[in-house]
Amino acid sequence: RLCVQGREQLYAFCETYGVHHRRCGKLLVATSEAERSKLDDIARQAFLNGVTDLQPLEAAQARQLEPEVSCVAALWSPSTGIVDSHALMTALLGDAQAHGAQLALLTRVVQARPSSSGWILSTQGTEAFDIATRLWVNCAGLHAVELARSTQGLAATGLPNAHYAKGNYFALRQRSPFQRLVYPMPTDGGLGIHLTLDLGGQARFGPDTQWLPEGTHPSSIDYAVSGDRQAAFYADIRRYWPGLPDDALAPAYTGVRPKLGPPGTSHDFMLLGPQDHGLAGCVHLLGIESPGLTSCLALADEVVRMLKPPPA
């Protein structure tokens, strides 16, 4: 729901603020007959979630869009797009600052405790200080569960454990023959090693799902690309692009997804507001991974709704 709502809000925001983006579309492909039923399941679930523009394609129709793609069937999503994520964040920051926000870098919130007028946030960094605030929102990404557990008065028994899945990306050394995004069937813990494009037309593949050991702390994560994953990338990509040349991939970058359960489980975003934990004036956003960026403006609206006091 938030992804569908957020997609339209994001397109409108990018138009208004001049953020570079392109509605390029996406092919979700089944590469074997056994995957056809999964494609049908995804289409049904998408419709239930409010996605009404998916178009089923046979292999020949998919190849009309992308001649290099190999599949037995596909779903075409014409409303999928790409965005300059750094420009988006800069625009969001500028908009927030224009409304009075201040950005405090190198400043870590280590504890939140209730006060007579709202909350006190204790920080560490180049200088330790306290912030008195009426409302606060925990959207600390990989640290969000840890910060929730440091909130006085919030029962830890109702909080999930933090798990982390590293995702490696490899870039295509040559010009991409694709004009659209190509996604295989989702895998455990991720969307599969898909082909994504930047606004300059450069192709990248990823992310895979590399579960980090239990007990990993975000501060200890190694963000180097795991070179031993490259062979698996070639194998997975060639399922939908058999023409991928040898030696065409170069390590690009990695990211880490916050998970709310261990391997083999699936969890949606978790938004905990006053109606959930009984503490006025704070909302915790946990497990915000893909499609968190697409959903960001819808998530903001949801947080505002959750922070409003109940009607008298």
**Closest by CA position to 171, among listed 225, 238, 243, 228:** 225
Residue 63 within any structural domain of the chain: no
DSSP 137-161: EE--GGGHHHHHHTBTT--GGGSPP
What's the CATH number where 277 sits? 3.50.50.60
Handedness of CA 84, 260, 209, 48 (dihedral sign): negative
**Closest by CA position to 192, among listed 9, 19, 28, 15:** 28
pLDDT 10s digits, 86-122? 999 999 999 999 999 999 999 999 999 999 999 999 9
Alpha-helical (H) ranges within the chain are 2-17, 36-48, 59-65, 85-98, 144-149, 230-240, 274-277, 296-307
**Closest by CA position to 26, among listed 49, 13, 6, 7:** 7
Q: What percent of the chain has pLDDT over 90?
A: 93
Residue 277 within any structural domain of the chain: yes
Residue 30 within any structural domain of the chain: no
Burial string for 83-113 (b: 16+ CB within 10 Å, else e) reads: bbeebbeebbeeeeeeeeeeeeeeeebeebe
Round to the nearest angstrom and report the end-to-end CA distance of the chain. 28
Q: 116 lies in which domain range?
A: 87-160+267-307
| Cβ atoms of residues 172 and 203 within 8 Å | yes
Residue 290 within any structural domain of the chain: yes
pLDDT 10s digits, 236-262? 999 999 999 999 999 999 999 999 999
Domain count, the chain: 1
Residue 224 within any structural domain of the chain: no
**Closest by CA position to 185, among listed 62, 65, 33, 291:** 33
Residue 98 within any structural domain of the chain: yes
Average of per-residue pLDDT values in the chain: 96
Handedness of CA 101, 81, 79, 299 (dihedral sign): negative
| pTM: predicted TM-score of the whole model, two decimal places | 0.94
Residue 203 has pLDDT above 80, yes or no: yes
Residue 57 within any structural domain of the chain: no
Residue 188 has pLDDT above 70, yes or no: no
Residue 125 within any structural domain of the chain: yes
pLDDT 10s digits, 22-75? 999 999 999 999 999 999 999 999 999 999 999 999 999 999 999 999 999 999
The residues facing 122 across adjacent strands are 111, 130
